[in-house]
Amino acid sequence: MNLSEIDPATFPPATPPGHLDRRGFLRLSALAGGGLALALYLRLPSDLLAAAPAAAAAGTPDGDFAPNLFVRITSAGEITILASNPEAGQGVKTALPMIIAEELDVAWTQVRVVQADLDPRLGRQVAGGSQATPTHYEPFRRLGATARFLLVAAAAAKWSVHASELSTPGDARVVHAASGRAASYGELAGAAALLPLPDEKTVPLKNPADFRVMGRRTGGVDNPAIVTGQPLFGIDTRRPGQLFATFVKCPVFGGKVRSANLDAVKALPGVKHACVIDAPGVSSGVAIVATTTWQAFKARDSLKVEWDEGRTAAESTAGFAAAAERAWADPGSGKILRNDGDFEAARAAAGANLVGARYTYPFLSHANLEPQNCTALFTPGALEVWAPTQAPQRGREAAAKALGLPPEAVTVRMTRMGGGFGRRLTNDFVAEAAAIARELPGVPVQLAWTRADDMQHDWYRPAGYHDLRAVLDSAGSLLGWSDHFVTFAAGYDTAEPSGVASLGPDEFPGRFLPHCLVRQTPLPNGIPMGPWRAPRASAQSFAHQSFLDELAVASGRDPVAFKLAVLGEPRAIPATGGKGPVYHTGRMAGVVRLAAEKSGWGTPLPKGSGRGLAFHFSHLGYAAIVVEVTVSPAGELTVDRVVVAADVGRQIINPSGAENQAEGSVVDGISSCLLQSITLDGGRVLQTNFGDMPLLRIAQSPKKIETHFLVTDNPPTGLGEPIIPPVPPALGNALFAATGKRIRSLPISAHDLSWS
Amino acid sequence: MPLTLNINGKSHDLGSIDPSTPLLWALRDHLGLVGTKYGCGQGLCGACTVHLNGQPSRSCILPVNALAGVKITTVEGLAKGGQLTALQQAWCDRDVAQCGYCQAGQLMSATALLARTPKPTDEDIDAAMSGNLCRCGTYTRIRQAIHTAAAQP
């Protein structure tokens, strides 16, 4: 597992494939109606194991195992597969059930996919870290294969033939070719449910050459509901008697309510309740509950709050930038994370071959198009929430903490999310909804944030400041590298960086050079920071891969040849101390070559046009990007073409979804580095909406995006994140090629790109 | 005076609704038509796009008292008799959506585009769709899906 890429505070560690707890792996149940139900329990905690049905084959009176069953086949032949993970647009609600359907050997059109709620027996229900594919691929294959094995065994018993004489043609039937007999899975389900479970490690898996579901372009299971406007998202939740709430927090992070004109607000049209919220783990603020969202929003105009702004009011973007300058000027500043060879000696010997540059990037907001929201129903001793959350278990814990309830008293219904990108790994909105709902027992309350709330109370991608230096030898090869990274501490009273703001000692080109010095200075602060798509990698790669391109230019060599030379011969480079993923240089070189080849690297372009390449390894995926741009003499940018090359192993589960992730990563990467910046002054965020924090529009998006997957014989891994980190530096490198201007700070829109 | 709106061919009584209520919230909170989405509240993102007499409009900044007698169409009113429109079908076939939150607004803008420009160029599409943000970045597929639908006989 690529746990070094993941903030351990944010992501519960996943169970590695092949290390499942045998005791809790599979359970088989007979349905009351004579069907087959097969449940897969991942990482079953021992207390739940004890509570789980001891002999599943005994069945239950009503046959209703719906919350913890992955596969259900009724005697009528209806096949249901549970989608266990939160869907934020990464396509997991389609891709994971496809794995099960493949080995179950049914046609995708025969399957109905049903969204699960939070249930610890379903294993890791998290949308984060690009982990769904690597943690589920093998277990889900075995789950589907075990169900198929039992259905075949049932047919063998029914016809008194050996199972080896039977086959499944992929349409939910078992066929005995010799006698021409066939039976549907529905006909066999009742008998299959009574058979003893095989050891799932021994059930035969399909030869991938025979895959009929995986590897086919498959539309998202929710597409019909999306295009017809059916309720799917958290904010679409409607419960009988529901009220609507808004929650006003101090614009300065950590500020607290001193007083508020609650009585005046309570007298406003439609307002049912207004109060100050003070609950564990919930920001201080004023809740207004009304008959409609609009009435709650409108009441804010009349709300007057006196705030105690607290110490963060002294913080600003300008202040952080000045602090970075001071840290860079102080040779004793920071903690050394890596010190290979002797960079300073190599630097002293290098003379003119020393290159240095400073790179900076701003805070970023996630800007999910669906603002944060949660619907909650409190009844004494219990809470039910309908939550668009990437981490429902953490949502349960946050709500329980806010109310002083045990976590098991909180039921979490998982809704589709209008975008995740890491924002919804933090469940502040769930805790807020819980605290507000407690004020009105028995009444469902939907908390919806305004766009300004969302932009000003995000958990931001941290800004960063890199002082980079490098030494080239006389032949133009990269000999040494140093980075003094000024970043953000996890608060005021710690010297440790925030988990989403730290530089890994193995970050490329760490481990690749004879001399490498990496130093890190975290600034104390009160700014909320959180994971933003490919945490750390998506920000740091801009600095590192842009600077590497500068070095290529300084070396006088072709950038692709220079970069391949740094990667060196194909080999597996273990993580320092064994803590983290192995870096396979051959896989990276493979995607670099593929991207270069597909982009026509080296073929001439007209003046004002240019190509840039960047690569990055994160979240177990290898990605290289070539961006081709044209910049007019006046400085207007057109992204003509983007070529994506990625190696995420031997199987692309759903090519349509996979390419969508690649295309989206390209647009997200360009949007964030070209246009976006969250700036702070007086401890508050200055941006409020898409007017001052723009998203890329269709006319600005690339004219063409091509995705090429390099299939290698490695375990399949995720695609939500690894493609985004190389996008910003590839764009910056292309702009240099086109204009001769090197982009060393973001957003790019702040730079004059004109040339003559 | 009670307010009545014509939405998707049906008359809806909004009772004594605050006349300044934006159409978006009348749809979502008064009538339970939640397909039209809240994204920004300022007409900047296009997630709330509906048709007023066939013209794409941002419902989050449209007070309901301006809409008497106007024929309003929302995403729920595109498909007729359970039959998806060519655009809706193309959206499914091209697998456009990622999170899907913006897509109702995208479809409303695209539907209006094809009504006035049946065979749009990429430039026509970019011009007509530039008021609709997609945070997931599905723009290349939106262009493809509009071309696919436009190619239907």
Q: What is the pLDDT of residues A102-128, one digit of tens each?
A: 999 999 999 999 999 999 878 889 999
pLDDT at A353: 75
The helix-helix angle for A537-555 and A727-739 (nearest 10°) equals 30
Give the pLDDT confidence of A434-449 residue by residue, as tens digits.
999 999 999 999 999 9
Shared-domain flag, residues A521 and A628: yes
Question: Looking at residue A272, which CATH number applies to its domain?
Answer: 3.30.365.10
Choice between A6 and B98, residue whose per-residue pLDDT is larger: B98
Confidence of residue A59 (pLDDT cuts 50, 70, 90): very low
Shared-domain flag, residues A379 and A350: no
Report the C-alpha dihedral over residues A81, A84, A89, A91, rounded to 10 degrees: -50
Shared-domain flag, residues A624 and A664: yes
Q: What is the CATH number of domain B4-77?
A: 3.10.20.30
B-chain CB neighbours of A388 within 8 Å are none
A-chain CB neighbours of B38 within 8 Å are 235, 293, 371, 448
Report the distance separating Cα A647 and Cα A726, nearest Å: 14
The helix-helix angle for B103-116 and B122-129 (nearest 10°) equals 130
Give the pLDDT confidence of B72-124 residue by residue, as tens digits.
999 999 999 989 999 999 999 999 999 999 999 999 999 999 999 999 999 99
Confidence of residue A8 (pLDDT cuts 50, 70, 90): very low
Confidence of residue A354 (pLDDT cuts 50, 70, 90): confident
Evaluate whether residue A385 is within a structural domain: yes
Domain boundary among A448, A474, A494: A448
Same fold, B4-77 and B86-150: no
- Is residue A43 within 8 A of residue A123, CB to CB? The reply is yes
Distances (CA, A) of B2 to A183, B5, B12, B68: 62, 10, 10, 11
- Substitution target in A226, A242, A660 with the highest count of B β-carbons within 10 Å is A226
Using the predicted structure, report yes or no on whether residue A63 has a pLDDT greater than 80.
no
For all residues of chain B together, what is the average pLDDT?
97
B-chain CB neighbours of A419 within 8 Å are 99, 101, 135-136
- Is residue A365 within 8 A of residue A455, CB to CB? The reply is yes
Shared-domain flag, residues A9 and A113: yes
Q: Which residue range is the domain that position A281 belongs to?
A: 234-310+372-448
Half-sphere exposure of A633 (CA within 13 A, CB side): 2
- Is residue A313 within 8 A of residue A683, CB to CB? The reply is yes
Shared-domain flag, residues A387 and A499: no
ipTM: 0.99
Shared-domain flag, residues A210 and A240: no
Shared-domain flag, residues A152 and A261: no
For all residues of chain A together, what is the average pLDDT?
91
Q: How far B69 CA sits from the closest chain A CA (Å)? A: 23
The answer to whether the CB atoms of B134 and A698 lie below 8 A apart is yes
Shared-domain flag, residues A709 and A585: yes
- Is residue A468 within 8 A of residue A482, CB to CB? The reply is yes
Using the predicted structure, report yes or no on whether residue A427 has a pLDDT greater than 90.
yes
The superfamily CATH assigns to domain B86-150 is [2Fe-2S]-binding domain (1.10.150.120)
Shared-domain flag, residues A552 and A632: yes
The answer to whether the CB atoms of B100 and A297 lie below 8 A apart is no
Q: Report CA A358 to chain centroid distance, whole Å.
A: 29
Work out the average pLDDT over A389-403: 98
Work out the average pLDDT over A517-533: 98
User: What amino acid occupies position A356?
Assistant: G
The answer to whether the CB atoms of A292 and B35 lie below 8 A apart is no
Pick from B45, B74, B103: CB nearest A227: B103
- Chain A residue with CA closest to B40: the answer is A451
Tally of helices (H runs) and strands (E runs) in chain A = 17, 30
Pick from B22, B40, B139: CB nearest A451: B40
Work out the average pLDDT over A87-113: 97
Considering only A126-135, A297-306, A704-713, which range has the smallest mean pLDDT? A126-135
The total of other beta-carbon atoms located within 10 Å of residue A561's CB is 12
Shared-domain flag, residues A623 and A714: yes
Using the predicted structure, report yes or no on whether residue A748 has a pLDDT greater than 50.
yes
SS3 A406: coil
pLDDT at A745: 98
pLDDT at A304: 98
Confidence of residue A57 (pLDDT cuts 50, 70, 90): very low
Choice between A189 and A15, residue whose per-residue pLDDT is larger: A189
Residues of chain B with pLDDT > 90: what percent?
96
Using the predicted structure, report yes or no on whether residue A298 has a pLDDT greater than 80.
yes
Shared-domain flag, residues A643 and A715: yes
Give the pLDDT confidence of A722-739 residue by residue, as tens digits.
999 999 999 999 999 999
Work out the average pLDDT over B57-62: 98
pLDDT at A34: 63
Domain boundary among A395, A420, A448: A448
Considering only A8-22, A178-192, A598-612, A641-655, which range has the smallest mean pLDDT? A8-22
Q: In total, how many domains does chain A have?
A: 3
Reference B40, options A456, A450, A429; nearest CA is A450
- Substitution target in A227, A302, A370 with the highest count of B β-carbons within 10 Å is A227
Q: Strands, DSSP E only, in A121-207?
A: 166-167, 173-176, 181-184
Using the predicted structure, report yes or no on whether residue A289 has a pLDDT greater than 60.
yes
* C-alpha dihedral sign at B9, B15, B20, B21: negative
Using the predicted structure, report yes or no on whether residue A52 has a pLDDT greater than 60.
no
Burial tier of B130 (Cβ tally within 10 Å: 0-12, 13-18, 19+): middle
Evaluate whether residue A755 is within a structural domain: no
Q: How far A212 CA sits from the closest chain B CA (Å)? A: 19
Confidence of residue A28 (pLDDT cuts 50, 70, 90): low
Using the predicted structure, report yes or no on whether residue A140 has a pLDDT greater than 60.
yes
pLDDT at A192: 87
Evaluate whether residue A229 is within a structural domain: no
Reference A470, options A615, A341, A575; nearest CA is A341
Report the distance separating Cα A722 and Cα A70, nearest Å: 28
Pick from B22, B76, B93: CB nearest A228: B76
Evaluate whether residue A228 is within a structural domain: no
Q: What are the residue ranges of helices labelled H in A330-423?
A: 343-350, 392-403
Shared-domain flag, residues A411 and A558: no
Using the predicted structure, report yes or no on whether residue A305 has a pLDDT greater than 50.
yes
Q: How far B126 CA sits from the closest chain A CA (Å)? A: 5
Query: To which H or E segment does residue A373 belong?
Result: strand A373-379
- Chain B residue with CA closest to A455: the answer is B40
Confidence of residue A18 (pLDDT cuts 50, 70, 90): very low
Q: How far A231 CA sits from the closest chain B CA (Å)? A: 6
Evaluate whether residue A222 is within a structural domain: no
The answer to whether the CB atoms of B95 and A217 lie below 8 A apart is yes
- Domain segments of chain B as ranges: 4-77, 86-150
Choice between A40 and A498, residue whose per-residue pLDDT is larger: A498
Choice between A391 and A354, residue whose per-residue pLDDT is larger: A391
Residues of chain A with pLDDT > 70: what percent?
91
Report the distance separating Cα A678 and Cα A55, nearest Å: 56
Using the predicted structure, report yes or no on whether residue A459 has a pLDDT greater than 70.
yes
Evaluate whether residue A543 is within a structural domain: yes
Report the distance separating Cα A385 and Cα A405, nearest Å: 14
Confidence of residue B153 (pLDDT cuts 50, 70, 90): confident
The answer to whether the CB atoms of B136 and A664 lie below 8 A apart is yes
Say how many residues make up chain B.
153
Task: State yes or no: cis peptide before A747, omega within 30 of 0.
Answer: yes
The answer to whether the CB atoms of B100 and A416 lie below 8 A apart is yes
Work out the average pLDDT over A22-50: 47
pLDDT at A120: 84
Q: Strands, DSSP E only, in A661-711?
A: 680-681, 684-685, 705-709
Confidence of residue A38 (pLDDT cuts 50, 70, 90): low
Domain boundary among A418, A448, A478: A448
Using the predicted structure, report yes or no on whether residue A62 has a pLDDT greater than 50.
no
